[in-house]
Amino acid sequence: MRRVSIMLAALLLLTGCSGGWPEGVIYPSITLDETVTADYPVSRTFTFEGRQVTLDVTVDGSLYAGAVAAEKSVTRFGNARENDWIEDYWPAFIDEEHQEPFFTDVLVALRQVRDSLGLDADRYAELLTVFVQSLVYETDPVDLEPKFPVETFVDGTGDCDDKTLLLAGLLTREGYDVAILMFEPEKHVALGIRSAEVPYLDTGYAFVETTSAGFIGMVPDSLSGDLTLTSEPRVFRIGSGATAYTAGGDVRTILEGRNRAIAEAAGLVASIEAADAELATMQSELDAMQSEMASLKASGNTAEYNALVPRFNALVERYNTAADARNALAAKHNVFAEVDRLIVEGLDDRPGTYAAVTSALD
């Protein structure tokens, strides 16, 4: 999580001449830098559904250089009202026409992965999401402006809005219904993808965090800096895609399973600690009886020694029964702990994690 800082330059123009000045907004755009002739071969490797995936894409050097040099702020002029521009600010980065060949090349590589793995629409959306999440999360304390998607791809790094803009650009070009979710108080940006099963609040979109690994529809407990999202996001729909994410039921089951596992494991800890305390007391008693019996045996006091044997054996039996019960509690605790581990390690594999969690909790 970095910031959402939309830079705004307002030109105050004189209107004394005949007809006055026009009014409107100038949005960020790219001018190709024709002085740059070398292209950028980019290779990105990440893990999806337990498999290593590599994307090899060559990016036009003049496009990348132009994107880096581009003005990222908005300029209002004339009598344009202050908030007229915001609806079109995010699309200006996503829909910038010079990036179309770049998006085409990246999607060709991603479609090859989709086809080789036989992915349906839900798993394909997850592939695109996991890819963007795999890029390094990095904030720039000086440059507060968003990057064009081509910059984020070539750099291999970005913060919340950078990575969200890249993912939105990929998903909308593949026909998905997506939106930018902007949390102004928390200065955070996330992606939304249409979902009836796991909508975030009343937005109609599943929450997608791009700065860290996570399932579509999984809201992180906290963001960088221990920040928690509490505000209602502003929703800016991107494009006109109609495809929704329909695997939200699996995600909901996974997350409910995790919550159950965490709660059950926490409850078992107290029982295990109590059992350990009881076993420790019995062990002390056994140690004391063993010492006494050894002393009696050494002194030749056979009668008293023989009298202690049944009591000792009964205590051993009680100890073993209590130990078995304690170990059963620990085994149950370990099952629930395993569920959490499966989820944490399976955030790139929704189908596999769903199967593992449901099996573990049966």
How does pLDDT run along the chain (362 residues), one tens digit per residue?
444 444 444 433 323 333 444 457 789 999 999 999 999 999 999 999 999 999 999 999 999 999 999 999 888 765 555 556 778 899 999 999 999 999 999 999 999 999 999 999 999 999 999 999 999 999 876 667 899 999 999 999 999 999 999 999 999 999 999 999 999 999 999 999 999 999 999 999 999 999 999 999 999 888 876 788 999 999 999 999 999 999 999 999 999 999 999 899 999 999 999 999 999 999 999 999 999 999 999 999 999 999 999 999 999 999 999 999 999 999 999 988 888 889 999 999 999 999 999 998 88
Do 74 and 126 contact (CB within 8 A), yes or no? Answer: no
Residue 47 has, within 13 A of its CA and on its CB side, a CA count of 10
Q: Which amino acid is at 221?
A: D
DSSP characters over 42-83: EEEEEEETTEEEEEEEEE-HHHHHHHHHS--SEEEETT--TT
Tell me how far apart the alpha carbons of residues 284 and 289 are, in angstroms, rounded to a whole number. Answer: 9
Q: Give the pLDDT score at 301.
A: 93
- Residues 6 or more apart whose CB falls under 8 angstroms from that of 77 comprise 10, 11, 13, 21, 22, 23, 24, 25, 26
Measured at the CA of 66, the angle between CA 61 and CA 68, to 5 degrees, comes to 100
Mapped onto helix, strand or coil, the DSSP state of residue 313 is helix
Tell me how far apart the alpha carbons of residues 273 and 250 are, in angstroms, rounded to a whole number. Answer: 34
Q: Give the pLDDT score at 145.
A: 86
* Alpha-carbon separation of residue 344 from 11, 127, 339, 341, 361 (angstroms): 50, 17, 9, 5, 16
* Alpha-carbon separation of residue 278 from 5, 49, 291, 292, 328 (angstroms): 59, 45, 20, 21, 15
Give 135-184 as a 3 state SS string.
CEECCCCCCCCCCCHHHHHHHCEECHHHHHHHHHHHHHHCCECEEEEEEC
Q: H or E stretch including 205? A: strand 205-208
Burial degree of 30 (CB within 10 A; 0-12, 13-18, 19+): buried
Tell me how far apart the alpha carbons of residues 4 and 165 are, in angstroms, rounded to a whole number. Answer: 12
Tell me how far apart the alpha carbons of residues 176 and 179 are, in angstroms, rounded to a whole number. Answer: 10
> Which pair of structure tokens corresponds to residue 104?
């085409």
* Residue 48: strand pairing partners: 51
Where on the phi/psi map is residue 349: left (φ > 0), alpha (ψ -120 to 50), or beta? Answer: beta
Taking every pair of Cα atoms in the chain, the longest distance, rounded to a whole number of angstroms, is 125
How many helices (DSSP H) and strands (DSSP E) are in the chain?
9, 11
Report pTM.
Answer: 0.84
Tell me how far apart the alpha carbons of residues 139 and 129 are, in angstroms, rounded to a whole number. Answer: 19
Do 40 and 64 contact (CB within 8 A), yes or no? Answer: yes
In angstroms, how far is the first alpha carbon of the chain from the final one? 37
Domain ranges (residues) in the chain:
8-246, 252-360
Q: Which amino acid is at 290?
A: Q
> Which pair of structure tokens corresponds to residue 64?
């990348």
